[in-house]
Structure 1
Amino acid sequence: MTLRFNSDGSFRVLQLADIQDGPSVHKDTIRLIEAAIREAHPDLIVLTGDQIRGYDPAYIDTFLRRRGEQPGTHVRAVTELEAKLRGVKRHPLSKALLNTQPVDDNWTIDGIGTDSPKLVRRSGNGTKSKLESWAQSINSATMGTLFEEARQKVRDTFAAFLGPALEERIPFAATYGNHDFQCGVLADDQDDIYREFSGCLNPLAGSSPLALEPGTFALPIEASDGSGRIAMSVMMVNSGDYAEHPSDAESIGHESIASYARYASNSRGWDLADSDGYGTPSPEAIEWLRTVQHELGVRNGDGRAVPAIAFQHIPPQEFYDCLKEVPAYTPNAVEGAREFAGHCYVLNHDVCRPGSRLGEAIGCADENVGEVQALREAGGYFALFCGHDHKNAFVGHVHDIDLGYAPTCGFESYGPKSRLRGIRLFEFNERNPQGYVTRMLTWGDLVGRYSSNEVRVFFEDHCVTDLIGIRNELRRPQVLATLIGVGSMGLAALAHAAFKLFRR
C-alpha cells in the first residue's frame, strides 16, 4: 500500500498511545477511537506501543515480567489480586510446569497436569527414560496450548481496537512498548498477527532497507502529483522495554536473556515501576535512523534527507529539557523519576506549545544512547513523539527538534481525568511538512465530560505506587485543599468530642 499526500497537499495522522487493555477492550476506548476518526478523517493511524496490557489476568499463565524468564512465574501481586476478583484461574495443566521443576539433570517430572506432580530419578545410564520423554512432550504441548490461547487473546484485542479503522479502511502501523511483550507473545509474533488485518503497514523485518526489525521501519509518503517522489516519511521506532545489563546477559537467537537478580527480591511486588529502569532503542536502530535517510534520499535521486517525524513508546532523556526545575513546594510540580529523582519540574513555556500539559514524571531510560543527537546528525527529522507516560500531553522544541507526547487513549489503565484522555492529531502540508499542526482530540471535546466508570478513572488519576507519587499528589492544589479540609473537619470533631468529655 502506497501512502500519498492528498490532492490538496494535506496528510493527517492520528497517534494512539497506550491503549493498554486485555482481550475485551473497554467500550469507552472504542468510543473515543471512533469519535476521533469521525472528527479527523485520518490518512494514517500510528500505534505507539503498549497496545496490550501484558500484565492483565487473562495472560496469567504466559506472563513475562522480563524476557527470558519462565512464563507465569513472576506474576505481580496486584495481578494475582485482580485475577481473584475477576475469578480468573490458572490453566490446570500449567501448575506443575510453573511450580515444579527438576532439581538437576538426574531427575524429571512425573504427573504433569495433576495436583500431585512428583520428581522421578532418570534411568541409571544417564539416557532419557520413556518417562522423561513423556514428561517433556507434555511440557511442550501444554506450553504450546497456553501460548496459542495467548495469541488468540492478542488477536481479539487487536480486532477490537482496530475495528473502527478497519471499518473506515484507514491504514495503520504499530510499534511496541514495555508492556506488549509481557503477555508472552513477543513482537515478531505480534507483527504477524497485525499483518492478518487489512490495512496493516508493518513490513516484514529485514524485507528492505526501510524495515529493520519489528516496530522499527519507515513509511514513505509520496508527493500528491503521482511522481513517486518521497515528500515526507513517518518513522516507527521500537524503543525497547526494560534495561538489560550486558555483563549479565547472553544472546539466544534474536532475543536476549538477562539476569533478574535486581528485581527478583520483589518480583511479585505491588508497585508498577521497574527496578532496573526502562529500555532504549537498540544500537542497530540508532544507526538505522541515520542510514535510512540516506536510503530515502537515494530513492528520490538527490541523496538529500527527507522531512521526517519519528514515533516510539519510551521517551529519551532530552524530554526533560522541555521542563524547568522549580522548588519542591511549587504547585502542580512533578518530581523526576530515577536519575532525575529529587528534582521537581514544571513545563518550560518558553519552549512548549500552548495547550501543553505535564501530569507526571518523564519515564525515560537511565542511559542516554544518543538518539536525539543521531536524529539531528542525520538531518530531515523535525519531530519525535512518544507515549508511555499516560498523563503527559506536551510539545516542546529543544535541540532543534520537536519532542512531544500523546497521553493514554485507554480506559483500562492509569491516566488523567476522563475528559483529558485522548488521541493526538497531526496535520501535514506537502509544501512544508515541518510546519505541521497538532492538537489533542480528547474525550471531553468529542464525547463528554465523564466516562462510563468515573469512579475507576478517579482512582487511576490519583493512584500512587511510591513516595514520589504521594509527594506529587500533595502538590496538586485541589488534592491538598481537600486533605486540609478533611483534616480540619476531623480535628474539629475531635475537639468537640474532647470538649463534651471534659464538661462531664
Structure 2
Amino acid sequence: PDLVVFSGNQIAGYEKVFAKTFQRRRWQESSNISSSDKKQLVDKVHEFVAKLMKPLEDRSIPWVVTYGNHDFQCGLNNEELDKIYQDFPCCMNRSASSTSSASAMQSTKCVLPKQIIFTCEPGTFALPVMDEKHEKVVFSIVLVDSGDYAKSGGYGSPSKKTIEFISGLSSYLPEHICVFQHFPLPQYYRVLREVPQELAAREHAIEGYRTFAGRYYALDEKHVLPDGYLGEGISCPDVDSGEYAALLDAGAFALIAGHDHRNSFAAKDPESNMLFVATPTCGFGSYGPEPAKRGVRLLEFDIRHPFEPRTQMLEFGNLVGKPSSKKAYTYALTAESEHELPEVDLLRKPSLLTRLIRRWRQRSTR
C-alpha cells in the first residue's frame, strides 16, 4: 500500500501490563508516576510500537496514526505517544510547530521527505495527495483525533481546535478530503433502518447505543454497499459536536471510522452522499467478529474518479485461512482482553417514563 492508517486504540491502555500507570479518564487525577515507572512505560510502549510497525518499517511503507478512547489510558497522553511514533522513519505524524489552527511543514525526517503536512494537534493533521505529475493537489487525507470520553457520559468529540482546523482546511487546500478517525458520527444512524422490536430477532436487528437505546436497527440496503454487516449498535457521541457540518464545509467525500469492533460496512449518507465507513477489529487482542472476519480495509483511489474510492475488507480468513473450530486457540482469539475495569453500560436503557411515552406515540400513529 501507499499508506497505512491506524485509526486509534493501538494501545490497549486498560491491560494489566499498564496497571501501575493506568488512567481511567483523562480529567481524573492520576497517581503520581515515578520517573523510573514513566521510563519503563515509555520503553514498554516503544517496544510494542516497534513490533506492531515492523512489517511496515521493513518494507518502507509510510504509516500514520490517530487516537481512540484507550490509548491514553496506559498513562501517556497523545503528545507523548506521538513522540514515540515519530521515532520511526516511516511514521508520517508530525507535531504542530505553532499555536495557530494549522501550520504546514515538509516531512523532512521520514520515508517521504517531500510530503507536505498540515498539522493541528497530535492525531489531527492533513496530508495533501498530488496528481501523478505532482502539479496539483487532488484531495487530502485528513486524520482526526475524535476524542475519548465525555464528562457527561458516553464517548467524546473532537476538540474545538480540531473542529476549527477542519473548517479552515478549504482556505489552503482543495475542498475534497477523505477523513479517518476513531469514532463514527451520530449521522451514521441515517444509513440504518429502524426495525420494530417484535421483528428485531427475525431481521437480526441490533439495539442502538445510549441515545439510540430502546430502538433496533439493521443496515438499509438502499444506502449500504454489498457485503456489509452490523454486529453492534453504532457507538457514537451522544451529541453532535459540529464536526459533521465542519466536514461538509471542508468538502469531505468519505469518513472512515474504526471504533465499532463488530461493524463492517460502507454506505452513502442519504443527505450529503458522503461515504460512511465502519471497519471491525483488526487484531485478536479484544472482542470483535469471528476470527476469520477480522482484517483491514483497503481503499483504492483512481485519478479518473478520485472522490469515489473503491473499498473492500481484507479479512484474516481469506488471507491466511479460516482457523479450525477444533483448535483451542479459536476461543482465545474471540475472547476479550484481560482487565480489571468495572463494567460500563453503554446502552443506557431508557427509563420507564421514556418507554411509556414511546409506546403511546407508536399507538397514536397507528
**2:4 maps to 1:45:** yes
Pairwise CA RMSD:
2.0
Could you tell me how far apart the structure 2 residues matched to 1:240 and 1:49 are?
10
Q: Which residue of 2 aligns with 1:370?
A: 242
Q: Which residue of 1 aligns with 2:71?
A: 180
Could you tell me how far apart the structure 2 residues matched to 1:62 and 1:466 are?
21
Could you tell me how far apart the structure 1 residues matched to 2:336 and 2:42 are?
28
Could you tell me how far apart the structure 2 residues matched to 1:226 and 1:311 are?
23
**2:164 maps to 1:287:** yes
Q: Which amino acid is 2:121 matched to?
A: E
Q: Is the 8 A contact 1:337 1:363 kept in 2?
A: yes
> How far is 1:70 from its partner?
3.7
Q: Which residue of 2 aligns with 1:425?
A: 298
Q: Which residue of 2 aligns with 1:330?
A: 200
Q: Which residue of 2 aligns with 1:224?
A: 132
Unaligned runs of at least 5 residues, structure 2: 105-117, 338-342, 350-366
Q: Which residue of 2 aligns with 1:405?
A: 278
> How far is 1:52 from its partner?
0.3
Could you tell me how far apart the structure 2 residues matched to 1:434 and 1:369 are?
25
Could you tell me how far apart the structure 1 residues matched to 2:122 and 2:171 are?
21
Q: Which residue of 1 aligns with 2:15?
A: 56
**2:189 maps to 1:320:** yes
Q: Which amino acid is 2:309 matched to?
A: Y
Q: Which amino acid is 1:59 matched to?
A: F
Q: Is the 8 A contact 2:288 2:334 kept in 1?
A: no
What SS class does the counterpart of residue 434 from structure 1 fall into? Answer: coil
Unaligned runs of at least 5 residues, structure 1: 1-41, 72-97, 99-138, 246-275, 298-304, 472-504
- Give a deviation string over 1:168-191, Cα, whole Å, max 9, x none: 110001000000000001100010
Q: Is the 8 A contact 1:416 1:460 kept in 2?
A: no
Mean alpha-carbon deviation: is it higher for 432-441 or for 206-215?
206-215
Q: Is the 8 A contact 2:177 2:250 kept in 1?
A: no
> How far is 1:407 from its partner?
0.8
Q: Which residue of 2 aligns with 1:204?
A: 95
> How far is 1:206 from its partner?
3.8
What SS class does the counterpart of residue 433 from structure 1 fall into? Answer: coil
Q: Is the 8 A contact 1:425 1:441 kept in 2?
A: yes
Larger radius of gyration: 1
Q: Which amino acid is 1:203 matched to?
A: R
> How far is 1:292 from its partner?
1.3
Higher relative contact order (Cα pairs below 8 Å, separated by 6+ residues): 1
Q: Which residue of 2 aligns with 1:91?
A: none
Q: Is the 8 A contact 2:5 2:63 kept in 1?
A: yes
Q: Which residue of 2 aligns with 1:454?
A: 330
> How far is 1:423 from its partner?
0.1
Could you tell me how far apart the structure 2 residues matched to 1:206 and 1:278 are?
29
**2:244 maps to 1:382:** no
What SS class does the counterpart of residue 278 from structure 1 fall into? Answer: coil
Q: Compute the TM-score of the two structures, normalised by the length of structure 2.
A: 0.83
Pair 1:58–1:315, CA change in 2 (3 A): same
> How far is 1:68 from its partner?
3.7
Q: Is the 8 A contact 2:141 2:178 kept in 1?
A: yes
> How far is 1:330 from its partner?
2.1
What SS class does the counterpart of residue 429 from structure 1 fall into? Answer: coil
Could you tell me how far apart the structure 1 residues matched to 2:54 and 2:133 are?
31
Q: Which residue of 1 aligns with 2:218?
A: 346
> How far is 1:457 from its partner?
3.2
> How far is 1:450 from its partner?
1.5
Q: Which amino acid is 2:20 matched to?
A: D
Q: Is the 8 A contact 1:415 1:457 kept in 2?
A: no
Could you tell me how far apart the structure 2 residues matched to 1:56 and 1:233 are?
35
What SS class does the counterpart of residue 448 from structure 1 fall into? Answer: coil
Could you tell me how far apart the structure 1 residues matched to 2:335 and 2:164 are?
42
1:492-503 to structure 2, matched below 5 A, reads none
- Give a deviation string over 1:203-250, Cα, whole Å, max 9, x none: 1124525211000100111111132x11121000000000035xxxxx
Could you tell me how far apart the structure 2 residues matched to 1:60 and 1:180 are?
14
1:242-261 to structure 2, matched below 5 A, reads 242-244=149-151
Pair 1:467–1:242, CA change in 2 (3 A): closer
Pair 1:339–1:428, CA change in 2 (3 A): same
What SS class does the counterpart of residue 435 from structure 1 fall into? Answer: coil
Which of these residues, 53, 78, 83, is aligned with residue 162 of structure 1?
53
Could you tell me how far apart the structure 2 residues matched to 1:195 and 1:458 are?
32
Q: Is the 8 A contact 1:376 1:400 kept in 2?
A: no
Pair 1:354–1:53, CA change in 2 (3 A): same
> How far is 1:391 from its partner?
0.6
Q: Is the 8 A contact 1:206 1:213 kept in 2?
A: no
Q: Which amino acid is 2:183 matched to?
A: I
Q: Compute the TM-score of the two structures, normalised by the length of structure 1.
A: 0.60
Percent of residue pairs bearing the same amino acid type: 41
Pair 1:358–1:167, CA change in 2 (3 A): same
**2:83 maps to 1:213:** no
What SS class does the counterpart of residue 218 from structure 1 fall into? Answer: strand
Q: Which amino acid is 1:236 matched to?
A: L
**2:312 maps to 1:439:** yes
Could you tell me how far apart the structure 1 residues matched to 2:159 and 2:66 are?
14
Q: Is the 8 A contact 1:177 1:240 kept in 2?
A: yes
Could you tell me how far apart the structure 2 residues matched to 1:68 and 1:289 are?
25
Pair 1:468–1:289, CA change in 2 (3 A): closer
What SS class does the counterpart of residue 432 from structure 1 fall into? Answer: coil
When the two structures are aligned, how many residues end up with a matched partner?
318
Could you tell me how far apart the structure 2 residues matched to 1:378 and 1:240 are?
20
